[in-house]
Structures are given as structure tokens and as C-alpha cells.
Structure 1
Amino acid sequence: MNQLSTPALTQEQMLPSQQPVRLIDESGTAAVGRTYKENYPLPAEQTLLRGYAQLVTGRRINDQASALVRQGRMAVYPSSHGQEACQVAAAMCLADGDWLFPTYRDTVAVMARGVDPVQVMELLRGSWHSGYDPYEHNVATQSTPLATQLLHAVGVAHAAKLKGQDTVVVALCGDGASSEGDFHEALNFAAVFHVPVVFFVQNNEYAISVPLSQQSVAPSLAHKAIGYGMPGERVDGNDLAALLAVLGNAVQRARSGGGPSLVEAHTYRMQSHTNADDASRYRTADEVSAWEPRDPLLRLRTYLLGANLLTEADEGRIAAEAESVAKVLRDGLNADVSVDPQDLFRFVYSEPTPQLLEQAQLLGEELSREGATS
């Protein structure tokens, strides 16, 4: 990590672009004639092709998980249908040694970092643990409370800076999280201590049922960055190319000692908040249908086909790879879990307290009596 001091940013440098950065428009063609505060080049062709494969897999994950909920194999699932580009980009912009701090909706991002699909779903399945080892792939456990993971992300970034490590942290959250006190504390600490973290807000227009207009009257959520002394940027959250460029720029800035930044992706949650939610109670069908042409998967596919970068063989291979992930999810979540009640006590403290030992003994005796009478 470059620990040299960097020049202070001007107000103009901290303010986001007037319009969200877009490199591929809704028709699937390269966007031209737009001016942004930075020069964002179109990512390399192979990077876009690899990202498209991740998008296809992400969409298949969402569809399969929703089906598993209906079959009773998962307790709940917060779909990211329509937001897959944000999650794929968040994973792709990181190096192996970097850290990702996801929310409960970011299963696609977690899997894109290499975490086992079945382990990712353990939390949403209703298991007692979060399913995977955070240190194996440098992915924190998925956070259900809003914005709490942002503070954890800042802590890891601060520790990395103190140790002189070449580590960047990307912390994901939604627009609803920006209304939480933890959001303010995380951004303020990160800016004051100049730590290598990128705050990535997926603005999908709603905090469950509360629209953004009732959460904030700021010009954009990215404009909040200047209040903390860090740069903010806006990006089309359904344009994978723009996401890779903007997030990649923010990650590189953090890695070179430039400190934290805030990126706001403008996207949309196409499905309900979770399977337990009825989105029709707070938004109209016309509003949802207006976002259908902006689908990130179809947009990038159109671009790749137009540029002769995607062949029929490629599509077949990509679809087969996505289906293999869906099969892993089906097989893993259709298998019954062997439950040991004593696990309630084994993993609370590394050295169990006397009270826990007493409770574990009482439970063991009760289970023994039940086993003797059955």
C-alpha cells in the first residue's frame, strides 16, 4: 500500500458526475457524446465476456433460489434479479487478497468470489450459522442488519493500512442503509483515517417499501460523499461495463493510497423485497415494466453480439455452466441437514462459560432420557 500523502481533493473532484456514468446504453451500443469527471474507458473484450458469463449465472442463481423457496427448501430469499450487474462488478473489481463485505441480497457477489453456492445459502436456508469461512475467500458473512457491515469493512481496511498490506475493501449496501447511523459513522471514520475502502451503494429505489424520495432529498446519494471529504461517483447500475470501469477506478485509487470513495449505482429491484413481500402494495406494474428494457443481462448480450464477441457456442457453454451451478444448489439444498442440538453451546465461546457448560449438560441428560424412552 502506498502510504505517501496525496493532494487534497477540490470540491469539484469530490462531486459526482452530473449524470450516471454509462458506457453501453439500453440499446446495447457504446454510449458516445457524454462527459464525466473521469475518463472511463470501455473494459477489455474478454473482461466483458467473462462478466456476461457471470451475469447469466447470477440470473440462474436467482431463479433457482426462488424456486427452492417455493419448494420449502429455503426459508427466505431476497432476489437480486435486475441487480446482477452490480454484484458481478463488485466481485470482479477485487484482487484475491481484497475483501468483500456483502448484504443479505448479495448472494451473487459472494458466489462470484468463489464461495461454495450451497454454503452461501445456509443463512437463507435457516441454518444456525452463516455457512462459509470468511477467511477462505476474504468475504465477510452476509449482513442482515442494515449498514452494520460498513463499520466492519472500515475496521478491516484500517487494519490493512496499519499493517502496510496491499488490501482494498469493497463494502456493499443499499439505499436504505444510507439512512442508518452506522452509514455515517463508517464514512466519517474512513475519511478521517484515510483507509482503503470503497462504499458501493446499490440504489434500487426502495428500502423495502419506502421510496428513495422519502429517505433523502440530496441530489443523489453519491453527493453525500463530499460531506465526508471523499469523492463520490454515480454509475448506471445496469451497465456492467460502466460498473467495472467506475469501481475499478475507485479500487485502484484506494490501493494507491488515495483513500475511500463512495459509488452509487442506479439500478432497480425487479422482484419483491423477499418472497414474504408483496411489492404491488407500494409500486405499480407500469413502474416495474419501465425498467425491463434496461435489463443488464440483455444489454450486455446485445452489445457482445453486435461486436461479434459472443458466438452460439459461447452461449451454449455459458448456459451449461450456469445450469451446473443451479444443479449444485438443488442437490445441496434438497439434502436434509443432520442437526446436533449440542452445537447450540459448542460455538458460542472458544472457552465455554460455566453457565453454558451447565446448560449443555442439562440438555444432554434430557436427550439421553428421551432416547431411552423412545
Structure 2
Amino acid sequence: MLLLQDVKQKLLDTYNKIEETVLSSIADKKKVIFEKISVQQKSVRHILNDTEHQSSCIEQVEKFGTEVHAVLVQRKIQKEPQTRLQSSVVDIGRSRTRSFFKCTANTCLDTLLIEIKNSLQIDDMVCDVSEKGSDSDIKQASIYAERSLQLQSEISLDEKQLSNSNNYPYSCIWIDHHIVVALDTPPSVVVFHEDNETVLSRFNCQSIPWSVSKTGQNDMVITFPRQRKISFAQLRNGNVHLVAEMTTSVPYKDVARDTALNQFICLANSEGQIDVLNNDGSLLHTLSLSSEIKQCITSSHYLAVHVNFRILFLTNKILHEITAISFQGKKLFEYADNKPLACAMDPSGDVYAVCLSGNIHQISPTGQYKKSLLLKEIDAPRGLCFNDTFDKLAIVGGLDKCYLKLYKYI
């Protein structure tokens, strides 16, 4: 409770400071605007007084003067007052301005609220009550039971049913009881049932699908960087159905969905940038990145999003590391790995990265190593995905012999 009270007090103090700063800034800007108005009002009053004086002279001449007086007054007005008044009116017109101000949020308020919401969490703790222990011997309970992976089945992606002997897979996702795999030759997205080793369906593409990402219970997004296109699709009865297609200004190689804000995070590694798109596909903004992170992005292959922790994970097999950055584009940490490729996350937020060596590293959301899952006969893995219950996983990859391997926890 003391921690909650401390957080509450800091939030209130921060709000009071923000309110004080905003109101003070508004008062300063209003003062400047009213000072400008006062100067312009003085100029206008001076012109009106001068005009009234000249009008009074003309009226006196009309009532009591002769034609000679009228000619002399006309010459005098044209020579000095008329020119002076016209010049003053022009100056006022030039100095006329329309001043206003507005309060602008420098960050997305929804994102900020989510970060505040997720800033605290309740962890299960256990207490060591052995004879040598004491009440202060408190340790965090392990979230995971020790489990190992057992190969359930292996599907060759070079079979005749795929119509080509060089079907290089780029990525995979698991939807319901189906595994969806993106292949390059011929460009297509194929669907397998987890209990069947034959192709259930095939969706032919005009260009190579670089990645396929799960964005909903039955929804997916497929990237075509060579065409600069993104396709939104659904899996219905084991078949891929195209829902919408969008042409993009840059080639996106990987896309992940921010379910909290209903947005899409898009990786354009050739451009060294990460874009955020609205649900309708329109560009919301581009992350502001340092030159170091941009260099990391250009050599990155896959992108994963941890919505609860507001973290983006980039796998980089060239620099042999996983880089975590915030949704504001700031680097949080780097995890050195043996050429990491694809990665996936479980419900608790742990990251699983499949490496070129064939093992899988389990990493905490803060970048701490937890354990490795050793696999046998894994050649050039490219894609990794879990099923909905997180008791099975699939890996695609291969060079000479391309494969889809399904594992289950025991």
C-alpha cells in the first residue's frame, strides 16, 4: 500500500506541475497578445482623432469660409493630413494579425495511460520457512515448470505436393489447429492442419510473401515488400481469404499488431524506420529513432510486439543480438544471441528466440536469460510460432531440405 500511495502522490505532484506550467504559459501568451492589441488600439485612436480634427476644419470652412478658404483647406489636406492618414491605415493593415494558441500533447495520451497502468504488477512470492531460514528469506516463485520439447511431427516442404523443390519458408503462424506458412517459390501461403502432414490449402501470391503475422483470432497480415503491399486476410475453414490490400510508401518486411491501441507496427528495414499505421492502414506516425537504432533496423529481420510492456523486439542475425526498444523509439536493452532469427512471446511476456544454431532461448521481458530449449536437426530456422494454448510450437526453415517441424511440451 505504501508503494501505491507513493505512486499516487507522484502522479498528483506531476499533474500539479503540469497544470501550473500550462496555466502560466497561457497567461504569458495572453499578456503578449493583449499588449499587441493595446498598441494597435492606440494607433487606431490616433487616426480617428486626426480624422475628426480635419472633418471639423472642413465643416467650419463650409459654414463660414469663402471659396478661397475652401481651396486653401483642400490643398492643405491633400498635401499633409491625407497622405499621413493613408500611410497610417496601410501600416495598421500590415500589422494586423490573428493570434491564438492551443495545448498540444507531445505523446499519445492513450499510450501514456497504458504505460502507467502497466507500471506495477503483482508477483507471486514464496517464503523459505526451513529451520535455517527466516521471515526475510523471501524468493520469487518460478512462473514456469521445467519442460522440454518433444518432436511431434515433421513435414517436408520440398514434397511434390508443393510443386517445387526450393520452397524456402520465411515465417509461420498458428491459428486454431492450423499452421500457416509463407513460401517464396512459387510465391504462396500454404496451410497445414496440425494432425495432418499434407497441404490443406494454398493461397497463391503475385510476389514473395516475406512474412505472415497473426493479428487476431483468425486474422493475419501478409507483407509483400517487393510490391510495397500489405494484405489483410482471414483463415476460414482452413482457407486463406483476402479481406483488403494496401499499397505502402515504403517496403514493409514485417508487421505486428498493437492490440491495445488497434494499430499496426510496421518494420521497413531497408529504410531504417518503423511506422505506426491506424487500423484503416493510414500512416499515424514514424518512430523517432537514433542513428544507432536505425543501423540496427537495417540489419533486422523480424519484429515482435509486447503490448503489455510496450516493447518492440528486433531480431538481428548479423549483429547476433535481440534489440528491445520502447514505443517512443528508445533502446531499452540488447540481448546477445547466436544469430537470432524469428521470435515469439508467451502470455507472461517471455520472449522465445530461435537461433541459427537450432536452439531456442527463453528471455524475460527485461532481457534476462532464463533457459534454452535444445532441438535436434534444426537447419537454418526462419520462423517460430506457438499454438493458442502454448503447449505446442512450430518451426520452419531449412536450406537443402526445407521443413515444418511441430513440437509439444512434455
Higher share in strand: 2
Higher share in helix: 1
TM-score surpassing 0.5? no
- Output the TM-score relative to the length of structure 1: 0.30
Larger radius of gyration: 2
- Output the TM-score relative to the length of structure 2: 0.28
